[in-house]
Amino acid sequence: MEKEVLEKAEYCLNCKTKPCQQGCPLGNDIPAFIACIKEEKYEEAYQILSKTTVLQPICGRICPHEQQCQGNCVRRFKAHPTQIGDLEAYVGDIALEKNFPFSKEKITSINKKVAVVGGGPAGLTCAAFLARAGYKVTILEKYSKLGGLLRHGIPEFRLDRKILDKVIDKIMQLGIQVQYKQELGKTITLEELNQQYDAIFLSFGANISSKMGIEGEELSGVYGGNELLEKEMHPNYIGKKVAVIGGGNVAMDCSRTIKRMGAKEVYVVYRRAEKQMPAERKEIEDAKQEGVKFLFQNNIVSITGKDKVEKIECIKTQLVKKEGETRESPVNIEESNYEIPMDYVVMAIGSTTEKAVIETLQKQGIGVNHRGYIQVNENYQTSNPKVFAGGDNIGQKATVAWAARAGRDAAYQIANFLGK
Nearest CA-CA partner of 378 in 358, 394, 401? 394
Residues 296 and 323 placed together within one structural domain of the fold: yes
pLDDT over 90 percentage in the chain: 81
Residue predicted with more confidence, 180 or 352: 180
Q: Using one digit for the tens of pLDDT, what is the confidence trace for 102-150?
A: 998 888 999 999 999 999 999 999 999 999 999 999 999 999 999 999 9
- In this structure, the answer to whether residues 293 and 203 fall within a common structural domain is no
CA 214 to CA 205: how far, in whole Å?
25
pLDDT tens, position by position, 297-330: 999 999 999 999 999 999 999 999 887 777 889 9
16 vs 144, higher pLDDT? 144
Mean pLDDT on 23-36: 96
pLDDT score of 370: 84
Q: Which of 358, 359, 419 is nearest to 389 (CA)?
A: 358
Residue 130 and residue 23 share a domain: no
Q: Are residues 46 and 176 in the same domain?
A: no
- pLDDT tens digit string along 222-240? 999 999 999 988 999 999 9
Angle at 322 between CA 351 and CA 395, to 5 degrees: 20
Mark which of 73, 98, 123 sits at the end of a domain: 98
Residue 45 within a domain:
yes
| Averaged pLDDT, 274-285 | 91
Is 338 found in the same domain as 230? yes
Long-range Cβ contacts of 414-417 (<8 Å, 24+ apart): 414/114, 414/126, 414/130, 414/135, 414/199, 414/201, 414/388, 415/130, 415/133, 415/135, 416/379, 417/199, 417/379, 417/381, 417/385, 417/386, 417/388
Distance separating the N- and C-terminal Cα atoms of the chain = 45
302 DSSP β-pair partners: 215, 313
Task: Count CA within 13 A, CB hemisphere, residue 300.
Answer: 31
Domain shared by 32 and 124, yes or no:
no
Among 69-73, 256-260, 263-267, which is the least confidently predicted range?
Answer: 69-73
CATH of the domain at 50: 1.10.1060.10
State residue 420's pLDDT score. Answer: 65
Q: How does the average pLDDT of the chain come out, rounded?
A: 94
Q: Are residues 219 and 313 in the same domain?
A: yes
Q: Does 106 reside within a domain?
A: no
Residues 56 and 133 in one domain: no
Alpha carbon distance 326, 167 (integer Å)? 39
Tell me, what's the pLDDT at 334? Answer: 95
Say what the pLDDT of residue 236 is.
Answer: 97
Q: How confident is the model at residue 185 (pLDDT cuts 50, 70, 90)?
A: confident
Q: Which domain holds residue 153?
A: 113-207+353-418
pTM of the model: 0.93
- State how far the Cα of 273 lies from the Cα of 319, in Å rounded to an integer: 8
Share of the chain above pLDDT 70, in %: 100
Structural domain contains residue 258: yes
105 domain residue, yes or no: no
357 pLDDT more than 90 = no
Distance, CA of 212 to CA of 224 (rounded, Å): 11
Structural domains of the chain, count: 3
Is 270 a domain residue?
yes
CA dist., res. 94 & res. 62, Å (int): 18
Instruction: State yes or no: pLDDT of 78 exceeds 70.
Output: yes
Is the model's pLDDT at 400 over the cut of 90? yes
Boundary of a domain, candidates 314, 334, 350: 350
Domain boundary among 350, 369, 401: 350
| Whether 308 and 407 share a structural domain | no
Q: Which of 151, 225, 222, 190 is nearest to 357 (CA)?
A: 190
Assigned domain for 250 exists = yes
Q: Are residues 268 and 337 in the same domain?
A: yes
- Do 228 and 187 lie in one domain? The reply is no
* pLDDT at 266 (0 to 100): 98
pLDDT tens, 368-392? 988 889 999 999 999 999 999 999 9
- Helix/strand/coil (H, E, C) string of the chain? CHHHHHHHHHCCCCCCCCHHHHHCCCCCCHHHHHHHHHCCCHHHHHHHHCCCCCCHHHHHHHCCHHHCCHHHCHHHHCCCCCCHHHHHHHHHHHHHHHCCCCCCCCCCCCCCEEEEECCCHHHHHHHHHHHHCCCEEEEEECCCCCCCHHHHCCCCCCCCHHHHHHHHHHHHCCCCEEEECCCECCCECHHHHHHHCCEEEECCCCCEECCCCCECCCCECEEEHHHHHHHCCCCCCECCEEEEECCCHHHHHHHHHHHHCCECEEEEEECCCHHHCCCCHHHHHHHHHCCCEEEECEEEEEEECCCECCEEEEEEEEEECCCCCCCCEEEECCCCCEEEECCEEEECCCEECCHHHHHHHHHCCCCECCCCCECCCCCCECCCCCEEECCHHHCCCCCHHHHHHHHHHHHHHHHHHHCC
**Assigned domain for 91 exists:** yes
Q: Is residue 104 part of a domain?
A: no
Regarding whether 341 and 227 lie in a shared domain, the answer is yes
For residues 202-229, average pLDDT: 94
CATH number at residue 228: 3.50.50.60
Among 136, 118, 24, 121, which Cα is nearest to 70's?
24
